Amino acid sequence: MPWLGTLVLLGGSVVFVAVIDSLAFALIAQRPPVNLMRDALLAPWRAVAVSLVRQQNRTEHPDRLNWALAPALYLALAGIGLAVVPLAPGVAVIDSSASVVLWGAVETLTVIAVFLHGWSANAPLPLIGAYRYAAMGLPIMLLSMFVLIGTALPAQSLSVADIVASQHDVWNVLRQPLGLLLFLLLGLSLSLRGPFDYADSADLAGGTASEVSGAARLTWQLARHAMLVAFAAMASSAFLGGYLGPVRAGPWWLALKMLVLITLLVGAGHSLARLPPSRMLTVLWTVLLPLSFLDLALAGVVALW
C-alpha cells in the first residue's frame, strides 16, 4: 500500500503545484481579477494538451540518449525522493536505515540530471544554464546535508522514519528554526525556482529547457513540479513532524504540511529576486555554509544536553 499512497500523494500534489503556480503568478502580476481561479485550474491541463500536440524538436548533433534520459531521470529522482518519506508509522516505500543519505544521493543526481539536460542539447544557452546550475547546486547540496544531519542527531539515526518519530514531543523546527530556513533554499534550487533558478532562467531564454519542446518539455516541467513535491515531503518530515499531528497521526497531516510548504516556496519563487551567480556563490560559501555549520553545531549541543 505505501506505493499507492505515495503515487496518490505525488499526483495530487503535482496538480496542486501547477495550479498554485499559475495563481501565484497572476496575483503577483496583479492581473485583472477575471477568471483568475478558473484559468489557474485549467492551466495545467491546457499546458499538457499543448505539449502533446506539439512536435518534439531536434537540435543539431545533440546527445540524443542523454537528452531524452535527463527529464526521465529527474522525474525518477523526484519519485525516489518522495519514496523515502514515511506516510504513516512504518509505511514508506523505501524504509532504509540510511534513507537520509539516500535523499542526499537524490540531491546529487538531480544536479547531474539538470546538467545533462542542458549539456546534451548542444546549444550555448542550455550549456551555460547547465554549467551555472552545477556550480551553484554543489554548495547548496552541501549546506542542505549539514542541516539534514542536524535533524538526524536527536533521532540518533540516519533513517527518515526515526527522524519523524523523534519529533513526537517537539518538532525539529522548534529545535532548529535556522535549519528549516536553510533547507528551504534547497527546495528552490532542486525544483529550479525563482531566486535559485540558475538552470532554466529567463536571462538564458529558458536555459536548459530553451531547446526542448513537446513531450520532452512536458516531462521536464512535470519533473520540476514533482521534485518540489518530494522536497516538501522531506522538509515536512525532517522539520515539521511529518505525519505526526495534534490528533490521530496519519498521512493527512503530512499532506497538509506539504501544501503549506509548497505554497510558501511557489510564492517565494515568484516574488524574490535572483542574485547574479557570482554574488550568490559568495553568499553561499561565506554566509550560508558557515550558518549551516553553526546550525549543526547548535543541534549537536542541544542533542548532547
Partner 1 sequence: MSARRALAAAAPVAVFVAVGEGTSDRVDDLCLRAEIERVASPRHASVLLVAGGVRERDVASLRRLHDQLPHPRATLCWASDIPAHFGTPRTLPPHAAPVLALRELYRQLLTGEHPSESDLLPDEPPAPWRGIGEYGQGGKGMMGGTPYGRPMPMTDDDLRDGLALDVYTLRLGPFMPTLPAGLVLTLTLQGDVIQHARMESPPLWPAPPSSPHAAHAAAVRQVEPLDESSILHKQGSSAAASESSKLGDSGATGSSAGQSGQDDNRYTPGIARTLAHREHQRAAQHLRGVARMLAVLELAPLAERCRRMACAIQHGDSVPIAPLRKALVRSGAFAAIPAGLGQLDPPMAQALGGAALRAAGDAVDERLHDRAYRELDFRVLTQRDGDVRARLHQWLDEAEQSMHLASRAGDLAPAAASHADERDVGHDPLPADDAVNMPAPNHDAFATLLCGLEWNEAMLVINSFDVAALRRMYRPPKDSPEEAGATHHGHAM
Partner 2 sequence: MSGTDLAFWTLAAIAIVSGWRVFRTDSMVRSAFLLLISFIAVGLIMLLLRAPYLGVATIFMMGVEMMVMALFMVMFMMNPAGLNPMNMVHQERFAVVAGVLAFAGLAAAVWLTDLPQHPLAAGRPVIRELGMELLGRSMLIFETAGVTLLATMIGTVVLSSRSGRFGPADAGSLPPPLTPDGVPAGRMPEKRSGGHGGHGGHAPAAAPVTAGEPAHGHANDHPHQPPEHHA
| Residues binding partner 1 (CB under 8 A) | 24-26, 28-31, 34-35, 39, 42-43, 45-50, 52-57, 60, 124, 128, 131-132, 194-195, 197, 201-206, 209-214, 217, 270-279
Nearer CB in complex with partner 2: 149/266? 149
Residues 210 and 57 sit within 8 Å (Cβ to Cβ):
no
Q: List the one residue from 16, 74, 115, 171 that touches partner 2 (CB under 8 A).
A: 115
Q: Which of residues 132-191 bind partner 2 (CB under 8 A)?
A: 134-135, 137-138, 141, 158
- Write down the residue that cell numbers 534547497 correspond to: 186
Q: Which residues contact 29 (CB under 8 A, 6 or more apart)?
A: none
Q: Which does 273 bind (CB under 5 to 8 A by kind): partner 1, partner 2, none?
A: partner 1
Residues 259 and 228 sit within 8 Å (Cβ to Cβ):
no
Nearer CB in complex with partner 1: 90/124? 124
Residues 195 and 275 sit within 8 Å (Cβ to Cβ):
yes
Q: How far is the CB of 141 from partner 1 (least distance, A)?
A: 20
Q: How far is the CB of 109 from partner 2 (least distance, A)?
A: 5
Length of the chain, please? Answer: 305
Nearer CB in complex with partner 2: 90/124? 124
- Neighbour tally for 258: CB within 10 Å: 30
CA neighbor of 303 nearest in space, from 180, 151, 174: 151
Instruction: Please report which residue ranges of 29-123 form alpha helices under DSSP H.
Output: 36-53, 64-83, 99-119
Nearer CB in complex with partner 1: 211/295? 211
Cα angle at 156 between 84 and 243, to 5 degrees?
A: 40
Nearer CB in complex with partner 1: 7/48? 48
Measure the N-to-C terminal CA separation of the chain; round to a whole number of Å.
39
Q: Which does 179 bind (CB under 5 to 8 A by kind): partner 2, partner 1, none?
A: none
Contact residues toward partner 2 (CB under 8 A) are 55-63, 66-67, 96-98, 101-102, 104-105, 108-109, 111-112, 115-116, 119-127, 130-131, 134-135, 137-138, 141, 158, 204-205, 210-211
